[in-house]
Amino acid sequence: MCIIATALFNNPFPAREKTMKLSSLLKKRGKSKVPCQKYFLCVADSQNKQRKIELAPDLYRLGRHEQCEIVVQCPYISRFHCLVIVDSDLNITITSYSTNSKRAIVNGKSLGYGELRRLTAGDTICLHDNAMAVLIRE
Type and span of the H or E element at 18: helix 16-28
- In angstroms, rounded to a whole number, what is the distance separating the alpha carbons of residues 12 and 95? 9
The total domain count for the chain is: 1
Q: Would you say 39 and 136 are in contact if contact means Cβ atoms under 8 Å apart?
A: yes
- At position 5, the amino acid (one-letter code) is A
Supply the CATH number for residue 31's domain: 2.60.200.20
pLDDT of res. 36? 67
DSSP string across 50-96: EEEEEE-SEEEEEESSTTSSEE---TTS-TT-EEEEE-TT--EEEEE
pTM for this one?
0.72
pLDDT of res. 37? 80
**pLDDT of the chain, 138 residues: tens digit per residue:** 323 333 333 444 544 444 444 545 455 444 545 456 889 999 988 777 888 999 999 999 999 999 999 998 888 889 999 999 999 888 999 999 987 777 889 999 999 999 999 999 999 999 887 788 898 888
Q: Which domain holds residue 41?
A: 2-137
